[in-house]
Amino acid sequence: MSTKKSWKMKIDGERRDYRTVWMEDDVVCLINQLLLPHRFEIYRSRSYTETADAIKNMIVRGAPAIGATASYGMAQAVLDYDAGFDGFRAYLDRVSLFFHETRPTAHDLFHAVEYIYNKVIESGDITEAREKAMKESLKYADDSAVICKRIGEIGENLIEDGMNVLTHCNAGALACVDHGTALSPLRMAHYNKKRIHVYVDETRPRMQGSRLTAWELLQEGIDYSIIADNAAGYFMSKGEIDLVIVGADRIALNGDVANKIGSYEKAVVARENNIPFYVAAPHSTIDLKCESGRDIEIEERNREEVLGMWGLDRGEGRIHKISTSPGGSNTRNPAFDITPSEYVTAIITEKGVHRPDKIRKLRS
């Protein structure tokens, strides 16, 4: 099966081709994002249950990457099926629900599961279903990479030479199959020799900005500064940020956007300082059944993410976690928030740049 990998990153001084996720025979291969930026390893998932766990435990994260991973996981489930064909539909229903429950906010996961389900469910026999599952999961991932590249080509027109850009969380190639969403326009601007500087929110509590976005920008040679999450307003007020661009995990038909926790406050402060706030996402992130942000389920994650920090002990050379809070403290840990459409300047998709109030017209 396909081993197609296309994202060129520099690792240990050597340029190598990788995608965030790909499939070799019946094994799903993932860049293990839990270990970055300190260690680069490929995680190999050999069953659909392992692939679902990789999504749930955030070995892979980012809406388009989750979607592609789920499409491969569905293919693994079809390959694993060895019972009578009469029970195939009920089996796929259970597998679909199993994937849905891993990360409830990211719409691309639901989109990918439904895509593979619909492609294989009308097969005449299990052999045909297996062939379709593999073919369509590979196509889903390839199409996702093309879409994200197109987002970059369209969004790059919004980036002017000399701009300072703020981003939040990681919406780069690691969050996708390739290229990225929010980082794709920045990559394209850099490739076209535009001078840009990126302010990278650290993005607590999982630090995807300082761990992952900064790592990607470092590989690409794009100028950046990591800032504390609560410093963004300061730099906006000083006139040091010209534009904000973030990704999305789910977009409602009214233009409300679910994205990593902290995105809402960045949008509010950006509007107060007359700074454009853009969202970059593939069309598959738009939930055609979701009327507004009020209808989006927000995932709440483990309390331990808030109570401590983890990183590399450079003296011992090992990654470990430390506690930063009093024992027994209560926490709340929503992984996402909702940015109302009135705070969003425009949404960049592979189909163009759209005002939030025009999203409903993209149903087709």
Amino acid 16: pLDDT: 67
Spatial separation of the C-alpha atoms in residues 134 and 36, rounded to whole Å: 29
Query: Could you read off the pLDDT of 154-169 as tens digits, one per residue?
Result: 999 999 999 999 999 9
pTM of the model: 0.93
Amino acid (one-letter) located at 30: L
Closest CA to 308 of 331, 288, 292: 331
Which residues are paired to 23 by β-bridges? Answer: 28
Quick check: 250 pLDDT over 80? yes
User: Does 2 reside within a domain?
Assistant: no
Confidence band for 150, pLDDT divided at 50, 70 and 90:
very high
Cβ-proximal residues to 218 (8 Å cutoff; 6+ apart), any chain: 37, 224
Look at residue 6 and tell me whether its pLDDT is greater than 90. no
Do 115 and 133 belong to one domain? yes
- Same domain? For 146 and 164 the reply is no
Going by their DSSP bridges, the two strands 243-246 and 277-280 should be labelled as parallel
Query: Greater confidence, 186 or 363?
Result: 186
Q: Over range 222-229, report the average pLDDT.
A: 97
- 24 and 145: one domain? yes
| 257 is a domain residue | yes
Distance, CA of 286 to CA of 363 (rounded, Å): 9
- Which residues lie closer than 8 Å to 226 by C-beta, 6 or more apart? 200, 202, 209, 210, 214
Over residues 350-356, mean pLDDT: 96
| Token pair in block for residue 70 | 């789920």
pLDDT of residue 15: 58
Same domain, 167 and 140: no
Looking at the fold, whether 193 and 328 belong to one and the same domain comes out as yes
How many whole angstroms separate alpha carbon 53 and alpha carbon 32?
Answer: 13
Q: Is 122 inside any structural domain?
A: yes
CB 66 within 8 A of CB 21: no
Task: Determine contact, residues 76/28, Cβ cutoff 8 Å.
Answer: yes
Cα separation, 90 vs 318, in Å, equals: 45
The reported pLDDT for the residue numbered 13 is 52
Residues in a beta bridge with 337: 259
Inter-residue contact 151 to 280 (CB < 8 Å): yes
Q: Give the confidence band of 2 by pLDDT, cuts at 50, 70, 90.
A: very low
Mean pLDDT of the chain, nearest integer? 93
Q: What pLDDT score was predicted for residue 9?
A: 52
Q: Using one digit for the tens of pLDDT, what is the confidence trace for 45-79?
A: 999 999 999 999 999 999 999 999 999 999 999 99
Final residue in a domain of this structure, among 150, 181, 203: 150
Whether residue 248 is found in the same domain as residue 186:
yes
Structural domain contains residue 1? no
pLDDT tens, position by position, 265-286: 999 999 999 999 999 999 999 9
Rounded Cα–Cα distance for residues 63 and 45 (Å): 19
- Write down the pLDDT at residue 258: 98
Shared domain for 84 and 190, answered yes or no, is no
DSSP 228-296: -GGGHHHHHHTT---EEEE--SEE-TTS-EEEETTHHHHHHHHHHTT--EEEE--GGGB-TT--SGGGP
Residue 11 lies in a domain: yes
What CATH number does the domain containing 203 carry?
3.40.50.10470
Domain final residue pick, 98, 124, 150: 150
Claim to verify: residue 219 and residue 296 sit in the same structural domain = yes
Of the candidates 72, 113, 121, which has an alpha carbon nearest to the alpha carbon of residue 95? 113
3-state SS class at 55: helix
- Report helix, strand and coil shares of the chain as percent, to nearest 5: 40, 20, 35
- pLDDT confidence of 221, banded at 50, 70, 90? very high
pLDDT band at 228; cut points 50, 70, 90: very high
Q: Which helix (H) or strand (E) holds 44?
A: strand 42-45
pLDDT band at residue 309 under the 50/70/90 scheme: confident
What is the rounded radius of gyration, in angstroms, for the C-alpha atoms of the chain?
A: 20
* Mean pLDDT of the 324-333 span: 91
Closest CA to 60 of 38, 76, 77, 45: 45
Neighbours of 164 (CB within 10 A): 16
Instruction: Give pLDDT, residue 320.
Output: 82
For residues 319 and 248, state if they share a domain.
yes
pLDDT exceeds 90 at position 311: no
249 is an active site residue: yes
H/E run at residue 336: strand 336-339
Structural domain tally of the chain? 2
Largest Cα separation within the chain, whole Å, is 66
- Domain span including residue 199: 157-362
Residue 11 has pLDDT above 70, yes or no: no
In the listed set 109, 125, 150, which residue is the last one of a domain according to the structure?
150
CATH code of the domain in which 70 resides: 1.20.120.420
The reported pLDDT for the residue numbered 179 is 94
In a domain, 32, yes or no: yes
Alpha-carbon distance of 40 to 159, in angstroms, equals 31
From 201, 229, 249, 337, the catalytic residue: 249
Q: What local confidence, expressed as pLDDT, does residue 4 receive?
A: 43
Residue 322 banded pLDDT, cuts 50, 70, 90: confident
Q: Are residues 82 and 217 in the same domain?
A: no
**pLDDT tens column, 107-144:** 999 999 999 999 999 899 999 999 999 999 999 999 99
Joined together, the tokens standing for residue 55 give: 């999504």
